[in-house]
Amino acid sequence: MSQDYSKHFSEDSFWSKLKKFGKKAGVSVVYVALLLFYTLQKPTTPVWAKTVIIGALGYFIFPVDLIPDLLPAGYADDMSGLFGALVTVAMFIDNEVKEKAKDRIRIWFGDNAVSETETVDDKLNKKVNKKDEEDEENKED
């Protein structure tokens, strides 16, 4: 990201954005944001990973996007930035983080919405596995 969005991140602004726009953004966007947020809260997450997360969440919170959030596809750019950060810090996302995020999804969207989080988990696993395979191939060269 060419601009430093980290200055726009705070816990209050994060929760405010989710409460105000979460339903419109949808389960997938909210789930990815929650995964990042709960990973940020872990004391074992290194500073570099927290910096990536804060930048992505800052962009999510920032009111002026490439694609305005009020448009039908307005959260596509948010999802791209959030998911990119998610892949980057994936090694720090554990089952506890996923369960916290899914619990919040249940509260806001209902029990049935949790099945939508599996799509995100599957995409993340594929990206991480692909990255691992590429890293292995690069080691062999």
In this predicted model, what pLDDT tens digit does every residue of 44-84 receive, in sequence order?
A: 999 999 999 999 999 888 866 554 544 444 555 677 789 99
Residue 29 tokens read as: 């966007």
Query: By the 8 A CB rule, do 88 and 36 touch?
Result: no
Question: Which residues fall within 8 angstroms of residue 61, CB to CB, at 6 or more apart?
Answer: 5, 8, 9, 13, 14, 17
**Alpha-carbon distances of 40 from 12, 35, 74, 113, 130, rounded to whole Å:** 14, 9, 25, 24, 24
**CA–CA separation, 6 and 58 (whole Å):** 5
Residue 108 tokens read as: 């806001």
What's the confidence (pLDDT) of residue 27?
Answer: 93
Looking at residue 73, what DSSP letter applies? T
**CA–CA separation, 5 and 76 (whole Å):** 17
∠8-40-79 over CA atoms, to 5°?
60
Residue the block writes with tokens 């002026």: 64
Query: By the 8 A CB rule, do 89 and 36 touch?
Result: yes
pLDDT in tens, 77-132: 677 789 999 999 999 999 999 999 999 999 999 999 999 999 999 988 888 888 77
Strand ranges (E), 6-93? none
pLDDT in tens, 11-50: 998 999 899 888 888 899 999 999 999 999 999 999 999 9
| Model confidence, pTM | 0.82
